[in-house]
Amino acid sequence: MSELKHAEKRIQELRDTLNYHSKLYYVQDAPEISDYEYDKLFYELVALEDKYPALRTDDSPTQRVGGAALDKFEKVTHSVRMGSLSDVFSYKEIYDFVRKTEEALGHTTIFSVEPKIDGLSVSLLYENGKFTVGSTRGDGNTGENVTENLRTVKTIPLSLPDALPLLEVRGEIYMPRKNFEALNQKREENGEVLFANPRNAAAGSLRQLDSKITASRGLDIMVFNIQRVDGEEFSSHMEGLDYLEREGFHVIPDRIRAKTADEIIAHIEKLGSLRDDLPYDIDGMVIKCDSLAERIEIGENTSTPKWAIAYKFPPERKPTKLLDIVIQVGRTGVLTPKAILSPVRLAGTSVSAATLHNIDFIRERDIRLGDTVYVQKAGDIIPEVVSVEMKDRAEDAVPYEMPTACPSCGEPVMKDDEAATRCTNPNCPAQLERSITHFASRDAMDIDGMGPAVVKSLLDAKLISDVADLYRLEAEKLKDLERMGEKSANNLISAIEASKKAGLDRLIYALGIRNIGEKAAKALATAFGTIDALAKATREDLVAIPDFGEITADCVLDYFAHPQTIELVEKLKACGVMTTYEVEKADKIFEGMTFVLTGTLPNLSRDEASAIIERHGGKASSSVSSKTTYVVAGEKAGSKLTKAQNLGVAIIDEETLLKMAGEV
């Protein structure tokens, strides 16, 4: 046998062996060999493929490490729409669903019940048994091609034993809890922003243009549906999932068939009680008519099937001990009480702190030090204290009072009309640190590399005393700061220089005027055109701006009434920071139209979509009414979409918006 033939044979043996052990390890959780033995086989295969590159194939186990970085993701049009399900939140709605399904069929039926993994949906296409295209859900009709990133997920088979002409499956990409905790720990050590939860981390990891980054994140998948298939026929959903499991897919676990609503609810309660012990997050259960023929008979609504629903678990609420209340001073001087808690696992993360908002919030709930408090996550993201267990309260517990002096500078504090306690010292160090961090943030002046740690280092080194000083920094003085170095220093100076052209709207937002967010800042820039004109604006001028009330107008007047504000503006102008507003020229095709954005758009952020609408003369509103012209709906659109449907408002997707604007 020739050397090439011998190598070809050995390569195939190694691939078969590695695929076998990968399935045992990652899919079945039943390894037969050690990591060391697996690695020896893997690197033998790497060496052979390096020596004989013509024998390397796309489905080789060596191709999971990630390839060259992409410039962008290409669009993928789904052959089968990747739709969403109607959400229900009560057992009564489950009984109603079962009853309506049986009424539509005229007889009882079997339902499949399975956990709803809290991740993001993807499609995997196999042609002749080979994985060829992987894509995100997007808006259901069009997603993004993330094939190279999905190749790095070890539980996605690159080739199948049963080489069907065509098989397309749908699954949920997620990040296992242990991987999420390790990733956040690493990011914290590096001074990077932490991911809010495993779903957020999985989404960010899957959409990396560099697949090597995705490969390092430890993503996983649960496959839960066959979208289309040639060469096999299935009569039921569960039969199809059993087939996928035999083919080596990581298929949704803990799935059952149920005949009644009571059986469905019993399984929901069983899985709900095990949520904390699962290695991944689930946010509900999916109930489907199991028979594929009966699904066709039952039919679909406009945007969701009638034969399936998603039961959403109520927010997790758990008791824990309130160990302390600490005060944080924000960039506008507001003192915010923060609860320090005995750590408790909640909605996928360990929670050891929660905001208490203000003194009125504390008094309304009668929260006291040492209490047992119930905590939940608002929107499964922000921890909050919702109530107190009074029977556990210590006899000597006393009502909490806010401090009378600022914990940062020691100056007096005062309670304003908005229930906020505020430091009266405009030069308070805590305010300065947070205001500079805000000034440099992405949605403000967008100074890349100027995070909280760098701002603190600059202040500690007395290199800056206000935001204007950022524009006087020199790389030579920066490189000796902790974690900086020459390259980072030069990059930071370049980012600071580039921020001079951010524009008046971003500058106004960056200045941190109370009650002035990005939208209000843009309205001010559009109305006045220059920072000087804004500084001279009267109350009447300000309230004449659409959606500007007296409180917002007074915040602007108060800010520009301080001599130090005018001094700061002059310093920024002297440093070359743009203080004028240049309106981008565009047609007025959307003039007189009002758009409302809801859900997650496949490619555009809310800000980007709003900018397109406003650039073409339209108005982006936050609420749906009979005067709304269009609702632009994305993934997981909620009550705004429902209200639009009830009012008969036209509903469009991102692609339609872009076509209307002439931007595709």
- pLDDT on residue 6: 78
Structure tokens at 334: 């507001």
Inform me whether the pLDDT recorded for 419 exceeds 80.
no
Structure tokens at 232: 């096999």
Task: Give the type of residue at 156.
Answer: I
Name the CATH code of domain 317-415 (choices 2.40.50.140, 3.40.50.300, 3.90.1150.10, 3.60.40.10). Answer: 2.40.50.140
How far apart are alpha carbons 502 and 578 in whole angstroms? 7
How far apart are alpha carbons 601 and 250 in whole angstroms? 28
- pLDDT on residue 430: 82
632's enclosing H/E stretch is strand 630-633
Assigned architecture for domain 594-661: 3-Layer(aba) Sandwich (3.40)
How far apart are alpha carbons 180 and 118 in whole angstroms? 13
pLDDT tens per residue across span 381-400: 678 898 999 999 999 999 99
Highest mean pLDDT among 242-256, 307-321, 552-566, 594-608: 242-256
State the alpha helices, DSSP H only, in 190-281.
Answer: 198-206, 211-216, 237-246, 261-273
Inform me whether the pLDDT recorded for 1 exceeds 80.
no
pLDDT tens per residue across span 273-309: 888 889 998 989 999 999 999 999 999 887 789 999 9
- Please give the backbone phi and psi of residue 580, each rounded to the nearest 5 degrees, phi first: -120, 160
Inform me whether the pLDDT recorded for 78 exceeds 60.
yes
- pLDDT on residue 25: 59
How far apart are alpha carbons 244 and 157 in whole angstroms? 11
Inform me whether the pLDDT recorded for 69 exceeds 70.
no
Percent above pLDDT 90 for the chain: 44
How far apart are alpha carbons 284 and 286 in whole angstroms? 7
Say if residues 223 and 170 touch (Cβ distance below 8 Å).
yes
Tell me the mean pLDDT in the region 636-662: 85
Region(s) of the chain under CATH 1.10.287.610: 3-64
Residue 583: pLDDT band (50, 70, 90) is low
C-alpha distances out from residue 25 to 32, 323, 326, 386, 564, Å:
8, 42, 46, 42, 64
Structure tokens at 555: 């915040």
Say if residues 373 and 305 touch (Cβ distance below 8 Å).
no
Higher pLDDT, 61 or 584: 61
Tell me the mean pLDDT in the region 592-603: 87
Structure tokens at 368: 């006291």
Tell me the mean pLDDT in the region 206-210: 86
CATH placement of domain 429-499: 1.10.150.20
Higher pLDDT, 627 or 95: 95
Region(s) of the chain under CATH 1.10.150.20: 429-499, 504-574
- pLDDT on residue 417: 61
167's enclosing H/E stretch is strand 166-174
Cβ-proximal residues to 111 (8 Å cutoff; 6+ apart), any chain: 98, 101, 257, 258, 259, 264, 287, 288, 289, 290
Tell me the mean pLDDT in the region 355-376: 91
87's enclosing H/E stretch is strand 86-88
Residue 327: pLDDT band (50, 70, 90) is very high
pLDDT tens per residue across span 504-513: 999 999 998 8
Residue 570: pLDDT band (50, 70, 90) is very high
Pairing of strands 594-598, 421-423: unpaired
- pLDDT on residue 167: 97
- pLDDT on residue 36: 64
Inform me whether the pLDDT recorded for 326 exceeds 90.
yes
- pLDDT on residue 587: 67
Residue 27: pLDDT band (50, 70, 90) is low
Residues catalogued as catalytic: 116
Inform me whether the pLDDT recorded for 237 exceeds 80.
yes
Say if residues 139 and 125 touch (Cβ distance below 8 Å).
no
- pLDDT on residue 489: 87
633's enclosing H/E stretch is strand 630-633
Region(s) of the chain under CATH 3.40.50.10190: 594-661
Question: Quick one: DSSP state of residue 258?
Answer: E
Residue 68: pLDDT band (50, 70, 90) is low
Tell me the mean pLDDT in the region 561-584: 87
- Tokens 């499956």 identify what position? 169
Structure tokens at 548: 């500007």
- Please give the backbone phi and psi of residue 200, each rounded to the nearest 5 degrees, phi first: -60, -40
Closest CA to 169 of 60, 61, 247: 247
Residue 661: pLDDT band (50, 70, 90) is confident
Round the average pLDDT of the chain to a whole number and report it.
Answer: 87
Percent above pLDDT 70 for the chain: 93
Structural fold of domain 504-574: DNA polymerase; domain 1 (1.10.150)
Residue 149: pLDDT band (50, 70, 90) is very high
- Tokens 């946010």 identify what position? 283
pLDDT tens per residue across span 449-502: 888 888 888 988 889 988 999 999 998 888 778 777 888 888 899 999 999 999
- Tell me the DSSP string of 332-380: TSEEEEEEEEEEEEETTEEEEEEE--SHHHHHHHT--TT-EEEEEEETT
- pLDDT on residue 107: 96
170's enclosing H/E stretch is strand 166-174
- pLDDT on residue 379: 58
pLDDT tens per residue across span 526-568: 888 899 999 999 988 898 887 788 888 988 998 898 888 899 9
- pLDDT on residue 28: 58
Q: Which residues of 626-640 are buried (b: 16+ CB within 10 A; e: fewer)?
A: eebbbbbbbbebeeb
How far apart are alpha carbons 141 and 653 in whole angstroms? 10
For the chain, report the end-to-end CA distance as a whole number of angstroms: 57
- pLDDT on residue 330: 82
Assigned architecture for domain 86-312: 2-Layer Sandwich (3.30)
Structural fold of domain 3-64: Helix Hairpins (1.10.287)
Residue 355: pLDDT band (50, 70, 90) is confident
- Please give the backbone phi and psi of residue 512, each rounded to the nearest 5 degrees, phi first: 75, 35
565's enclosing H/E stretch is helix 563-574
Higher pLDDT, 106 or 24: 106
Tell me the mean pLDDT in the region 181-188: 83
How far apart are alpha carbons 580 and 576 in whole angstroms? 11
- Tokens 């924000």 identify what position? 330
State the alpha helices, DSSP H only, in 423-538.
Answer: 429-440, 452-460, 475-478, 485-499, 504-510, 518-528, 531-535
Question: Quick one: DSSP state of residue 41?
Answer: H
Tell me the mean pLDDT in the region 194-214: 84
Among the residue ranges 289-293, 360-364, 634-638, the one predicted with the least confidence is 634-638
Inform me whether the pLDDT recorded for 26 exceeds 60.
no
CA 609 from chain centre, in angstroms, equals 17
Say how many CA atoms lie within 13 Å of 625 toward its Cβ: 7
State the alpha helices, DSSP H only, in 255-357.
Answer: 261-273, 292-298
Q: Is 656 helix (H, G, I), strand (E, B) or coil?
A: helix
Closest CA to 629 of 597, 605, 593, 600: 593
